[in-house]
């Protein structure tokens, strides 16, 4: 009789407690999932702000390059001189309709400056294929690029020694292609320097295609092996670069109940 | 019509080109190393185009400056370094006026605009923001400079002197850390008329990276060993910024058929066929910057003057938006007597040539040392030192002596525990020689790193010791210098005997 009473009393105490515990765990799991979703959404929002910021910078550079090429028109001297005045331009080039490189002209070595020679060395892999930029670009990006052989303008990315380099090009009315080699460090500086910042509870990073961190924002410093909570790619021609968000571990596990 | 005024002067014998008028802040000088060249044979000589910033009798209103101070706030800056850096920045800013624009950027893991670009009217707020800077994190140097450039661009106008003053004590470990890449970035900033002065504090900073950034943007670079010297260096740097008399300088040299431009010593230049183009950013009063072009002149006939090059110089004065242009022609006289060629030679130009070539060799030796090839490096250093000392004696040039001394000291310290100190000091001197161009025009002991960095003479004398007696050069490997010196007292000549405690 006494044992029954004990069991009954225990049941009266334990069952409600168990029920409360179970409900609490359910609630905690749901809250935790909701919190993680909210945090992920916030991470994506933070990254989208940066992504948009980077896209704006890239677009502005694209527009400037486009306008400059239009203003230069067929003035070959102006095209040659563009690199000496424009901070974002390292070299200029002109490819004839036939595919022959006219500026700088490798067949006229006496008229080449040291900068011209270095440009030809850096871009040798492009010209040696003897094809137009649009076709190459499609090949190189494994179909990810929207550029076509008959595109009127676009970006071309290639790798040389210290990482990616970029050409911006435009097809002229006579089917020749004029363009610029973008000054890589100036370009990246505009991206890094122009990146919008706000108070971030985690950490936002701009990471290159080979994993190098170029910029970091936020008070949290993640370990090198910590996975990012969220990642977004940058806009073309930086599509192999990423913005990453890292949440602080204690907060990443969910809210305290 | 961009050209306000064109002056064309025929320079027989490669002499002076364009004396400045009363209001001109710049004097353009065109000289040849050999105004007389052999008549019947090919000859190598040097054409120097110098731009001298003139002190104005009536002090004109200075142009407004647009300056960004960039402070490394990484963890290694804790303690006295940060205290002195804050104080130095605050003191330097006291020199600015209400029309000047200032911004302060810090960098650790990322970059932050502690003081976004603003007029120097609310000094208290600016000082308060600077005083709140505390050290933390790592060294995202590139992000710091990039943010600084963005701050400068907010108010940048052609009438302003735009400069970034960067202080760092460490290795860039977030973002790019390649000196060549930072050099390219410097080139790009120079095209925007933004120069970067880099101040390396202590022994652990990346000298090559900071030097490349400064050199290619036409700014200054200094090595500062002790934080206590920061205030003086900052103040002098701001003095440089406030005395700029011309900007956006372009030099174009066109050689006639047969005359071959070979190379420009110590500066970035574009040589395309017979045309040479060089851009320089800013020139301050009392400073000379120059282009030193090596040319191969073909054999000629008789006494017909030989045109070496047509020179076009353009620059923008502080009070004008359009560039001013100066045109000159450099001619050499053909002579049949070789002694006449030799006697006509310009010693100052040949000294500059020797300095620049000496720097090239020093750079090679430092690179060898950095690669661990210390024996080879020592050989190059000492050979270079011998050549510099020999030419120093021949031309009676104290500058060449001191450069030779520096190479001896560097050569004897490639395996020393103090190598980094000597290296940074020697390289700063070398960078100065490469880009400063014309230290002798400044009579004071305060001289330039490419035009403006303060340094103190005793510090250099303690490291690259000058000959104490006319007949003997004593190399004392004493305490490394705390800062680098730019100019030497004009004295001393005679036979040099090299000695060292190691019996070499």
Whether B104 and B69 have beta carbons less than 8 Å apart is answered as yes
| A162–B185 CB contact, under 8 Å | no
CA–CA gap between residue A144 and residue B271 (Å, rounded): 40
B158 vs A78, more confident: A78
The pLDDT, as a whole number, for residue B502 is: 33
Task: Tell me the CA end-to-end span of chain B in Å, nearest whole number.
Answer: 64
pLDDT level of residue B21 (50, 70, 90 thresholds):
low
**Which chain B residues touch A183 with a CB distance below 8 Å?**
184, 187-188
What percent of chain A lies above the pLDDT cut of 70?
A: 87
A3-17, A190-204, B470-484, range with greatest mean pLDDT: A3-17
Sign of CA dihedral B24, B26, B27, B30: negative
Burial label, A147 (beta-carbon count in 10 A; 0-12, 13-18, 19+): buried
Residue B271, SS3?
strand
Average pLDDT for residues B130-134, to the nearest whole number? 94
**Which chain B residues touch A86 with a CB distance below 8 Å?**
191
| A214–B143 CB contact, under 8 Å | yes
B443 vs B76, more confident: B76
Candidate CATH numbers 3.40.50.720, 3.40.718.10, 3.10.20.30, 2.60.40.3670; the one for domain B6-59+245-344: 2.60.40.3670
Average pLDDT for residues B153-167, to the nearest whole number? 93
Of B137, B149, B279, the CB nearest to A189: B149
CA–CA gap between residue B203 and residue B473 (Å, rounded): 28
CA–CA gap between residue B394 and residue B493 (Å, rounded): 9
Token pair 């090429």 in the structure block, residue = A69
The pLDDT, as a whole number, for residue B445 is: 25
The number of beta carbons lying within 10 Å of the beta carbon of residue B154 is 14
Average pLDDT for residues B120-124, to the nearest whole number? 90
What does chain B come to in residues? 504
Average pLDDT, whole number, for chain B? Answer: 81
Q: What strand order describes the sheet that includes B26-32?
A: B26-32, B43-53, B288-297, B260-264
**Which chain B residues touch A103 with a CB distance below 8 Å?**
none
Q: Which of A238-247, B143-152, B434-443 has the lowest mean pLDDT?
A: B434-443
Whether B277 and B251 have beta carbons less than 8 Å apart is answered as yes
Whether B264 and A78 have beta carbons less than 8 Å apart is answered as no
pLDDT level of residue A249 (50, 70, 90 thresholds):
confident
Beta bridge partners of B66: B101, B162
Q: Is B141 on the interface with A (CB under 8 A)?
A: no
The pLDDT, as a whole number, for residue B435 is: 54
Q: What digits encode the pLDDT tens for the residues B191-219?
A: 999 999 999 998 888 888 998 999 899 88
Of B109, B110, B185, the CB nearest to A185: B185
The pLDDT, as a whole number, for residue A130 is: 57
Q: Strands, DSSP E only, in chain A?
A: 89-95, 101-103, 153-160, 163-171, 177-182, 203-207, 213-217, 230-233, 242-246
pLDDT level of residue B475 (50, 70, 90 thresholds):
very low
The pLDDT, as a whole number, for residue A140 is: 43
Residue A107 falls within a domain, yes or no? yes
pLDDT level of residue A60 (50, 70, 90 thresholds):
very high
Residue A229 falls within a domain, yes or no? no
CATH number for the domain harbouring residue A65: 3.30.450
pLDDT level of residue A133 (50, 70, 90 thresholds):
low
CA–CA gap between residue A13 and residue A4 (Å, rounded): 14
A129 vs B52, more confident: B52
CA–CA gap between residue B378 and residue B384 (Å, rounded): 10
**Does B43 score more than 70 pLDDT?**
yes
Beta bridge partners of A205: A216, A244
DSSP state for residue B37 in the 8-state scheme: E
The pLDDT, as a whole number, for residue B35 is: 95
Dihedral, B140, B206, B435, B284 alpha carbons, nearest 10: 50
pLDDT level of residue B137 (50, 70, 90 thresholds):
confident
The number of beta carbons lying within 10 Å of the beta carbon of residue B123 is 14
| B279–A84 CB contact, under 8 Å | yes
The pLDDT, as a whole number, for residue A250 is: 62
Angle at the Cα of A167 (from A162 to A173), degrees rounded to 5?
165
pLDDT level of residue A127 (50, 70, 90 thresholds):
confident
Q: Which of A151-165, A173-187, B381-395 has the lowest mean pLDDT?
A: A151-165
Residue A86, SS3?
coil
Domain count, chain A: 1
- Domain of A136 in residue numbering reads as 56-183
Q: What digits encode the pLDDT tens for the residues B208-257?
A: 899 899 989 988 888 888 899 899 889 888 988 898 999 999 999 999 99
Domain boundaries along the sequence of chain B: 6-59+245-344, 65-242, 347-446+455-499
Of B150, B178, B180, the CB nearest to A193: B150
Whether B480 and B420 have beta carbons less than 8 Å apart is answered as no
Q: Please state the separation of Cα B379 from the chain's center in Å.
A: 27
Residue B38 has phi, psi (to 5 degrees) of: -60, 145
**Does A48 score more than 70 pLDDT?**
yes
Burial label, B19 (beta-carbon count in 10 A; 0-12, 13-18, 19+): exposed
**Does B462 score more than 80 pLDDT?**
no
The pLDDT, as a whole number, for residue B15 is: 45
Structure tokens at B482: 């705390």
Q: Is B182 on the interface with A (CB under 8 A)?
A: yes
Q: Is B189 on the interface with A (CB under 8 A)?
A: yes
**Does A251 score more than 70 pLDDT?**
no
| B176–A114 CB contact, under 8 Å | no
Q: What digits encode the pLDDT tens for the residues B309-353?
A: 999 999 998 877 688 999 999 999 998 888 999 999 999 999 999
**Does B150 score more than 90 pLDDT?**
yes
The pLDDT, as a whole number, for residue A135 is: 43
Whether B279 and B250 have beta carbons less than 8 Å apart is answered as yes
CATH top-level class for B65-242?
A: alpha beta
The pLDDT, as a whole number, for residue B172 is: 87
Residue B291, SS3?
strand
Strands A213-217 and A203-207: antiparallel
What percent of chain B lies above the pLDDT cut of 90?
A: 56
**Does B60 score more than 50 pLDDT?**
yes
The pLDDT, as a whole number, for residue A191 is: 93
């Amino acid at each position: 009789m006494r044992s029954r009473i004990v069991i009954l009393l225990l049941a009266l105490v334990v069952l409600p407690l168990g029920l409360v515990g179970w409900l609490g765990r359910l609630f905690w799991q749901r809250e935790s999932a909701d919190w993680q979703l909210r945090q992920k959404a916030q991470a994506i929002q933070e990254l989208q702000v940066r992504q948009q910021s980077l896209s704006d910078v890239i677009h502005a550079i694209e527009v400037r390059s486009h306008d400059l090429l239009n203003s230069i028109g067929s003035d070959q001297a102006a095209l040659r001189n563009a690199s000496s005045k424009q901070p974002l331009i390292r070299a200029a080039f002109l490819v004839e309709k036939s595919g022959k490189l006219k500026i700088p002209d490798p067949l006229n070595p006496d008229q080449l400056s040291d900068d011209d020679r270095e440009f030809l060395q850096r871009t040798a892999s492009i010209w040696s294929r003897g094809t137009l930029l649009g076709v190459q670009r499609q090949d190189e990006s494994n179909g990810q690029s929207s550029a076509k052989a008959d595109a009127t303008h676009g970006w071309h990315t290639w790798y040389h020694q210290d990482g990616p380099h970029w050409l911006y090009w435009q097809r002229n009315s006579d089917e020749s292609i004029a363009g610029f080699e973008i000054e890589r460090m100036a370009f990246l500086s505009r991206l890094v320097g122009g990146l919008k910042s706000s108070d971030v509870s985690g950490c936002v990073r701009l990471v290159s295609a080979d994993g190098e961190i170029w910029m970091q924002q936020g008070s949290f410093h993640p370990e090198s092996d910590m996975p990012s909570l969220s990642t977004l790619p940058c806009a073309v021609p930086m599509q192999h670069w990423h913005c990453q968000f890292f949440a602080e571990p204690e907060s990443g596990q969910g809210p305290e109940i | 019509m961009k050209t306000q005024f064109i002056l064309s002067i025929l320079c027989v014998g490669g002499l002076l080109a364009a004396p400045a008028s009363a209001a001109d802040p710049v004097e353009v000088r065109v000289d040849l190393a050999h105004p007389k060249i052999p008549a019947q044979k090919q000859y190598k000589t040097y054409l120097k185009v110098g731009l001298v910033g003139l002190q104005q009798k009536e002090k004109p209103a200075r142009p407004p400056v647009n300056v960004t101070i960039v402070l490394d706030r990484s963890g290694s800056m804790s303690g006295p370094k940060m205290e002195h850096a804050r104080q130095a920045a605050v003191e330097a800013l006291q020199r600015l006026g209400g029309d000047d624009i200032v911004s302060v950027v810090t960098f650790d893991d990322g970059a932050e605009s502690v003081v976004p670009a603003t007029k120097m009217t609310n000094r208290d707020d600016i000082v308060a923001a600077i005083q709140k800077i505390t050290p933390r994190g790592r060294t995202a140097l590139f992000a710091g400079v990039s943010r600084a450039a963005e701050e400068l661009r907010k108010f940048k106008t052609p009438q302003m002197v735009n400069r970034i003053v960067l202080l760092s004590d460490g290795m860039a470990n977030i973002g790019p850390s390649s000196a060549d890449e930072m050099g390219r970035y410097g080139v790009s900033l120079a095209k925007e008329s933004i120069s970067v002065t880099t101040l390396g504090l202590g022994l652990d900073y990346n000298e090559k990276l900071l030097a490349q950034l400064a050199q290619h943007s036409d700014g200054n670079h200094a090595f500062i060993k002790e934080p206590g010297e920061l205030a003086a260096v900052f103040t002098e740097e701001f003095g440089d910024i406030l005395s700029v008399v011309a900007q956006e300088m372009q030099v174009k040299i066109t050689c006639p058929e047969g005359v071959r431009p070979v190379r420009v010593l110590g500066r970035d230049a574009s040589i395309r066929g017979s045309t040479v183009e060089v851009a320089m950013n800013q020139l301050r009063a009392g400073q000379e910057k120059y282009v030193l072009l090596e040319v191969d002149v073909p054999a000629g006939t008789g006494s017909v003057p030989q045109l070496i090059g047509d020179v076009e110089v353009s620059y923008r004065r502080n009070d004008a938006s359009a560039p001013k242009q100066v045109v000159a022609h450099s001619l050499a006289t053909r002579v049949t007597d070789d002694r006449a060629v030799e006697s006509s030679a310009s010693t100052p130009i040949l000294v500059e040539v020797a300095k620049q070539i000496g720097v090239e060799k020093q750079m090679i030796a430092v690179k060898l040392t950095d690669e661990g090839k210390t024996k080879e490096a020592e050989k190059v250093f000492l050979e270079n030192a011998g050549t510099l000392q020999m030419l120093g004696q021949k031309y009676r040039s104290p500058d060449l002596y001191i450069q030779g001394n520096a190479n001896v000291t560097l050569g004897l310290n490639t395996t020393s525990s103090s190598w980094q100190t000597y290296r940074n000091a020697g390289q700063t001197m070398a960078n100065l020689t490469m880009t400063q161009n014309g230290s002798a025009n400044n009579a004071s002991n305060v001289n330039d790193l490419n035009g403006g960095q303060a340094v103190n003479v005793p510090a250099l004398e303690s490291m690259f010791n000058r000959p104490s007696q006319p007949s003997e050069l004593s190399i004392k490997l004493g305490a490394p210098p705390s800062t680098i010196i730019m100019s030497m007292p004009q004295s001393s000549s005679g036979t040099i005997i090299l000695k060292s405690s190691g019996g070499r």
